[in-house]
Amino acid sequence: MTQSNRRKFIQRAASMAAVGTLPLTYVKLGRSEQSAEFSFAFLSDSHIQHIRGNEFVRNWDRGLIRAVAETNLLNPKPDFVIYGGDLAQLGTKPELDHGAELLSALKYDIYPILGEHDYYLDLGEYWSDIFKRPHYYSFDHKGVHFVMLNSILTYDEWTFERWPTAEQRMNEMAGLDNPNGSPFLVGDAQREWLKKDLAEVDKSTPIVVVSHSPLQKIYKGWNFWTDDAEQMQAILAPFDKVTVLYGHVHQIQYNQIGNISFTSAMATAWPWPYPGSYAQAEHYLPVLTVPMNRADPFFERDATGWQFVDVHTGRVAVHYNLYDNAVRTVAWNEDTGRPEDTVFQDPAARIPPQQHY
């Protein structure tokens, strides 16, 4: 990032902080290049949870309702919305219906992907019915090629043979720390599809891949993990500019592996601890990541939020709209060749709530 760009980012972060916790107006960056310049919103992990009858867990409902309302107020308007999966908690029709209804208030087109909580009851059948989308697909927008994955598949024996009922299969996968779960996979068939899909795409075309699980290995115990991550990275390696946006982790993470930039989404529902705060675990949180603030449980929306994503010449800047904290921005830094927090990347700039233990 040039000095002047850095200054603009900081100015923008400051201007957003000035409007308080609802950063509804974004100052547009001055840009010289016209190609691949647009924005979209990125919402994820709402975990709409059915209690009984027409009752749903209020806390999770409020998170999605707020994200939708704020997204609708964006100015300039985003071109579309990406939904990063885990709309439902246990993949039931009432949950998917209710979640889709809350999402239907969005004034924009929506490109959703599946999370494991949407999938393992009926293997994504009802989800496809209501969203009219296949489980994985791609599209082009203003010079950027978007790949929308179903990265939460797993081994066939686990999916098709191990569990006596679909409900039990869903429940076993729904427990993040459940040792009966199974590592996520993109899988052979989808990787073959992706190779064919990308064969048509010029190597200089910016690629944005959206997956639910990180296409990198961070902590297997909570499935912050994709078992065929290396194979996926190899497929993406020949392209000049690749960004992977992912959900599932309910926290700020970002990384650079070779040519691939990774940036995660906050959940609208609840935050998750960083793996390092589980004393019995070995984990690989990217060292580049400056953590989100530790959540204050007394504020139910704290450490939840959604993302506004700026695409500029095929690189992305992700603005984390945190309901009870200042906005965080993780943006591609042209000088260092990696995504960085525009305010807190320097260890000297970090604040006590970013210490997790």
Chain residues binding other proteins by CB under 8 A are 49-51, 57-59, 175-178, 221-222, 270-273, 275, 277-281, 294-295, 297-298, 300, 352, 356-357
Q: Of 302 and 340, which CB lies nearer to other proteins in the complex structure?
A: 302
Q: Produce one character per residue of 281-320: b if its CB has 16 or more CB atoms within 10 Å, e if not.
A: eebebbebbbbbbbbeeeebbbbbbbbbbbbbbbbbbbbb
Work out how close the CB of 270 gets to Fe ion at its nearest, in angstroms, rounded to a whole number.
9
Specify the residue, 135 or 294, whose C-beta has the smaller distance to other proteins: 294
- Cβ burial of 124 (10 Å; 0-12, 13-18, 19+) is buried
Task: Report what 115 binds from Fe ion, other proteins, none; CB cut-off 5-8 Å by kind.
Answer: Fe ion
Which of the choices other proteins, Fe ion, none does residue 12 contact, using the CB cut-off of 5 to 8 A by kind? none
DSSP string, 11-44: HHHHHHHHTTT---B-PPPP-S--TTEEEEEEE-
Q: Which is nearer to Fe ion, 150 or 333 (CB)?
A: 150
- Closer to Fe ion at the Cβ: 84 or 291? 84
Q: How far is the CB of 90 from other proteins (least distance, A)?
A: 9
The option from other proteins, Fe ion, none interacting with 205 (CB < 5 to 8 A, set by class) reads none
In the complex, the smallest distance separating the C-beta of residue 57 from other proteins, rounded to whole angstroms, is: 5
| Helix residue ranges, H only, the chain | 3-18, 58-72, 93-103, 116-119, 125-131, 156, 166-174, 188-199, 229-236
Indicate which of other proteins, Fe ion, none lies near residue 347 (CB less than 5 to 8 Å, by partner kind): none
Q: Which tokens sit at 130?
A: 């209501």
Residue 331 interacting partner from other proteins, Fe ion, none (CB closer than 5 to 8 Å by kind): none
Q: What is the DSSP letter of 256?
A: E
